[in-house]
């Protein structure tokens, strides 16, 4: 199969790419840090890995993605892993807008191009995104992060119905990890943190099983059920206990 990972220079995206490479798929990898893309490609057999450096916040990102798909001769599965988050209790507008550019607008740029590519050519496709458990409840310590992660998952839901409307054969998976030991959490220790390799294996399995949503891992899935039961006034009131966590990530 031809699989593209958008945001595969480090962390979860890179670990997922390495699994797919190990399984013998043709894998396209993207990110801004070209030398890291080359590092992944050079560890794989010649011709198996295709690289394309681009910034998802750039208006031309979809053109770069299209070029990669053309060079690979098509794409069956795409995982959007590009993203970042910051706590922002001071509500610095630059921080809020920066995350919105990458996690929301960048995702839409890529998702729209892929949807139209599959639907317009009568091809089967599968689009997955790394959302977060931060999408389950509105987190006041990181407004743009929490909201854009919700956006990613909800946008997939809208595309799922649009696929029915347009008669397109496209599957969608929203991945919602808890804490994973990547650069994202800067080596800090949070409860129920899992290794990136474990997260990647669970993500590959969820995509293979065509799961609509996958909370990673089981403990976070159980906690997610409880989180959804918290009444909104109680959740807002509990904000006073988040004050020590204003610089969490």
Ligand X SMILES: NC(=O)c1ccc[n+]([C@@H]2O[C@H](COP(=O)([O-])OP(=O)(O)OC[C@H]3O[C@@H](n4cnc5c(N)ncnc54)[C@H](OP(=O)(O)O)[C@@H]3O)[C@@H](O)[C@H]2O)c1
Candidate residues 38, 55, 197, 217; the one interacting with ligand X per rule CB under 6 A: 55
Give the C-alpha separation, 157 to 160, whole Å.
5
Please choose, from the candidates 84, 81, 125, 126, the residue with its C-alpha nearest in 3D space to the C-alpha of residue 107.
Answer: 81
3-state secondary structure 193-247: CECHHHHHHHHHHHHHCCCCEEEECHHHHHHHHHHHHCCHHHHHHHHHHHHHHCC
Which of 197, 4, 20 lies closest to 82 in space, CA to CA?
4
Binding mask 149-188 for ligand X (x = CB under 6 A): ----------------------------x-xx-xxxx---
129 Cβ contact list (under 8 Å, min separation 6)? 79, 80, 81, 107, 111, 152, 153, 156, 173, 174, 175
Out of 26, 50, 78, 83, the residue judged to bind ligand X by CB under 6 A: 83
Binding mask 95-114 for ligand X (x = CB under 6 A): -------x------------
Nearer Cβ to ligand X, position 123 or 194? 194
| Minimal distance, residue 90 CB to ligand X, in Å | 20
Contact 169, 123 (CB under 8 A): yes
Print the binding letters for residues 24-43 with ligand X: x by CB under 6 A, - otherwise: -------xxx----------
44, 57, 123, 248: which one binds ligand X (CB under 6 A) = 57
Sign of CA pseudo-dihedral 78, 84, 87, 90:
negative
Count the site residues for ligand X by CB under 6 A.
28
Q: What are the two backbone dihedrals, phi and then psi, of residue 3, each rounded to the nearest 5 degrees?
A: -130, 130
Residue 6 CB, shortest distance to ligand X, in Å, is 7
Q: Among 181, 175, 174, 220, which residue's Cα sits nearest to residue 198?
A: 181
Per-residue x/- marks for ligand X, 183-212, CB under 6 A?
xxx---------------------------
**CB nearer ligand X, residue 64 or residue 168:** 64
Does residue 219 touch ligand X according to CB under 6 A?
no
Does the protein bind ligand X through residue 81 (CB under 6 A)? yes
Residues of the shown chain interacting with ligand X in the complex, contacts defined by CB under 6 A: 7-13, 31-33, 55-57, 81-85, 102, 130, 132, 177, 179-180, 182-185
């Amino acid at each position: 199969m031809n699989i593209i990972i958008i945001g595969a220079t480090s962390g979860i995206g890179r670990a997922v790419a390495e699994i797919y490479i190990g399984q013998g798929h043709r894998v396209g990898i993207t990110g801004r840090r070209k030398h890291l893309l080359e590092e992944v490609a050079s560890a794989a057999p010649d011709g198996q890995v295709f690289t394309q450096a681009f910034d998802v916040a750039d208006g031309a990102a979809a053109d770069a993605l299209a070029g990669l798909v053309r060079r690979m001769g098509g794409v069956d599965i795409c995982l959007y892993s590009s993203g970042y988050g910051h706590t922002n209790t001071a509500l610095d507008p630059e921080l809020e807008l920066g995350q919105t550019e990458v996690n929301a607008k960048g995702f839409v740029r890529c998702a729209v191009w892929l949807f139209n590519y599959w639907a317009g050519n009568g091809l089967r496709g599968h689009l997955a995104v790394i959302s977060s458990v931060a999408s389950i409840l509105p987190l006041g310590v990181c407004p743009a992060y929490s909201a854009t992660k919700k956006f990613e998952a909800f946008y997939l839901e809208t595309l799922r119905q649009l696929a029915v409307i347009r008669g397109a054969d496209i599957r969608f998976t929203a991945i919602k990890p808890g804490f994973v030991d990547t650069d994202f959490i800067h080596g800090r220790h949070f409860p129920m943190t899992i290794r990136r390799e474990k997260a990647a294996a669970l993500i590959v399995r969820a995509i293979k099983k065509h799961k609509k949503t996958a909370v990673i891992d089981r403990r976070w899935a159980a906690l997610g059920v409880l989180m959804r039961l918290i009444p909104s006034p109680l959740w807002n009131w509990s904000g006073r206990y988040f004050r020590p966590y204003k610089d969490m990530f």
